[in-house]
């Protein structure tokens, strides 16, 4: 496994240390590796959804009001979580 040195601000270093103390991680490296893996999986999911969207058929034109409604719905879902 490769070794990488990372410089963190004092606040981030303290945050990571608290996560290790409170969570299932035995070491800081496990905690950070977990976060990187989750980020990687999220990006792969987004890429997959974008490709699915591109492959789903002809585009449907939307006007400003429709985009505004979609934006509001997405913002609402994000603020309330899954």
CB 44 within 8 A of CB 36: no
Domain membership of residue 4 (yes or no) is no
Domain membership of residue 3 (yes or no) is no
Q: How many CB atoms lie within 10 A of CB 3?
A: 5
In terms of residue numbers, what domain contains 31? 10-80
Chain centre to alpha carbon of residue 20: 20
- For the entire predicted model, the pTM comes to 0.65
pLDDT tens digits in sequence order for the chain, 82 residues long: 788 999 999 999 999 999 999 989 999 999 999 999 999 999 999 999 999 998 999 988 999 999 999 999 999 999 887 6
Contacting residues for 19 by C-beta, under 8 A, at least 6 apart: 25, 31
If one counts the domains in the chain, the total is: 1
Domain membership of residue 5 (yes or no) is no
Domain membership of residue 49 (yes or no) is yes
d(CA 2, CA 4) in angstroms, rounded, equals: 7
Q: For position 39, what pLDDT does the model report?
A: 97
Domain membership of residue 37 (yes or no) is yes
Tokens 């879902």 locate to: 77
Q: For position 1, what pLDDT does the model report?
A: 79
Q: For position 82, what pLDDT does the model report?
A: 63
CB 8 within 8 A of CB 16: yes
* Total count of residues recorded for the chain: 82
């Amino acid at each position: 496994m490769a070794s990488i040195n990372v410089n963190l601000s004092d606040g981030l270093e303290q945050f990571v240390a608290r996560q290790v103390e409170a969570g299932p991680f035995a070491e800081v490296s496990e905690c950070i590796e977990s976060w990187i893996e989750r980020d990687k999986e999220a990006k792969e999911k987004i890429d997959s959804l974008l490709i699915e969207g591109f492959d789903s058929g002809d585009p449907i034109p939307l006007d400003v009001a429709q985009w505004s409604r979609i934006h509001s719905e997405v913002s609402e879902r994000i603020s309330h979580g899954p």
